[in-house]
Amino acid sequence: MSTTTAQPARRLFGTDGVRGVAGEFLSADLALRLARAAALRVGSEKPSLRALVVRDPRESGEMLEAAVAAGLTSAGAEVLLGGVLPTPAAPLLLRRHGLDLAVVLSASHNAYADNGIKFFGADGHKLPDEAEAEIEALLANLPAGTARVGRIRSLDEAPEQYVQALMARFSTLDLHGLNVALDCANGATHKVAPEIFSRLGAEVKVLAAEPDGRNINANCGSTHPERLLACVREGGYSVGFAFDGDGDRVLAVDRCGDLVDGDELIALAALHLRQLGKLTGNGVAVTVMTNYGFHSAMAEAGIEVAVTGVGDRYVLEALRERGWNFGGEQSGHIIETGFNPTGDGIASALLALEALDGRDLASRSAMRKLPQRLENVRVRDRETIAGATGLWRAVEREDEALEGRGRVLVRASGTEPLIRVMVEAPTHEEVDEVTERLLGVVRREMV
């Protein structure tokens, strides 16, 4: 089991672009300047630059869309506005139209007050760390004017083109007779997800598909699946899927009302792709958060596993380094690079149904998930974890006791003053005992 953990720190760009409270940290001025800098960086060796902008439906999206379009055109770029679309539509449309840059405005699963900006290059991949660092460096010395001003037009056909791409990928999938419930998180999937499932023949019940700018991810979607769980269980649906606000992740619900996370969906799809001869390199990339049971199942199946830091960009880096095509995260970011070089919630849901081939998700057997508990402890300074020797001695002691049966993971949050404690063990009782001991050490040493 190999590991990739490099995560360089930057002032503005995090693991998924620039993100913060819209209008405060992420102001219209910052959005304009970032877009202008990105256009200058990406277009430095091009006679002209063509860019796409898409967004989720949170209320700050229109403001930031206007600012980004202004920044791009002020650097001479021609801009296509795709409107409200899932993040994964961006790289597909980018390649379809031969564009040079795509800008996605979304804060993913965050509440409506936040928003974010992420950039995709002409190859459909998020811009690498070096390019983001260069964009950030340009902000301090942006040129005042330009020799050419670009134009803006709406790409009205963008939603249909994304649906067509999904239809082409899953052209053999017949969902007639399937009763499916979809929780669209009042987000970017609220139109296209029901449309694609309906076209493939499913009878669709739609939840949280009336975005008002402020209800995105509010007690709905993949971060709050309780309503979907109850809907599937009480309404007699065959399966349910919950997307997040920007549609790049998905969780499933079986007919019994049990939640099926990304680990189980990845295991199911990995075995399916391997059976079809489409699991390139016979390997899968996942993060340190992935359940111990997943590793056991893949070892038993003879599938290699690469482990990365938390974040889909690191999963993708591992895939590119190894020439593999499949991986993802427990949170539901699942990447099949043969279709799309980023997480695609709708595609991942359809891949799960393709892997089931008419079988019931409730009878899944791709892996045995170990009991897991994850707790967050708010601390004064998350950086002091490196010198918390008592904590690391406790982690080592608990890890040794669980060797071959489970594991312990303690790490600092990348964005908040939190220490995350995760424990996996054969029984819930043992999980709780180990977790409480470690939480006690964290509180004594760091709170």
Q: Give pLDDT tens digits for 338-347.
A: 999 999 999 9
By the 8 A CB rule, do 100 and 42 touch? yes
Instruction: Compute CA 3 distance to the chain's CA centroid, rounded to the nearest angstrom.
Output: 20
pTM: 0.90
Mean predicted confidence (pLDDT) in 3-27: 74
Q: Could you identify the residue written with the tokens 């990348």?
A: 414
Question: What is the largest distance, in Å, between two alpha-carbon atoms of the chain?
Answer: 68
* pLDDT tens per residue, range 104-127: 999 999 999 999 999 999 999 999
User: Of the ranges 98-107, 239-248, 310-319, 412-421, which one carries the lowest mean pLDDT score?
Assistant: 412-421
Mean predicted confidence (pLDDT) in 123-148: 87
Active site residue 108: yes
262-363 folds as Alpha-D-Glucose-1,6-Bisphosphate; Chain A, domain 3 (3.40.120)
By the 8 A CB rule, do 250 and 345 touch? yes
Q: In the β-sheet with 418-424, what is the strand arrangement from edge to edge?
A: 372-378, 418-424, 407-412
161-256 folds as Alpha-D-Glucose-1,6-Bisphosphate; Chain A, domain 3 (3.40.120)
pLDDT at 2 over 70: no
User: Quick check: do 2-156 and 372-446 share a fold?
Assistant: no
> pLDDT averaged over the chain?
93
Question: Two tokens at 78?
Answer: 């021609």
CA distances from 42 to 50, 164, 313 (A): 10, 29, 19
User: Of the ranges 45-54, 271-280, 334-343, 359-368, which one carries the lowest mean pLDDT score?
Assistant: 45-54
Higher pLDDT among residues 413 and 316, named by residue: 316
Domain ranges of the chain: 2-156, 161-256, 262-363, 372-446
Euclidean distance between CA atoms 345 and 422, whole angstroms: 25
pLDDT at 92 over 60: yes
pLDDT value of position 116 = 97
pLDDT at 359 over 60: yes
Out of 60, 108, 331, 348, which one is annotated catalytic?
Answer: 108
Q: Could you identify the residue written with the tokens 């380094």?
A: 321
**Extended strands (E) in 143-272:** 152-154, 179-183, 203-207, 239-243, 250-254, 259-260
Q: How confident is the model at residue 7 (pLDDT cuts 50, 70, 90)?
A: very low
Euclidean distance between CA atoms 238 and 245, whole angstroms: 23
Q: For residue 259, count CB atoms less than 10 angstroms from its CB and return exposed for 0-12, middle for 13-18, buried for 19 or more.
A: middle
Q: Which numeric CATH code is attached to 372-446?
A: 3.30.310.50
Mean predicted confidence (pLDDT) in 415-421: 87
Mean predicted confidence (pLDDT) in 327-353: 96
Q: Are strands 203-207 and 179-183 parallel, antiparallel or unpaired?
A: parallel
Q: Which numeric CATH code is attached to 2-156?
A: 3.40.120.10
* pLDDT tens per residue, range 20-64: 999 999 999 999 999 999 999 998 667 789 999 999 999 999 999
pLDDT value of position 147 = 66
Length reported for the chain: 447
By the 8 A CB rule, do 222 and 184 touch? no
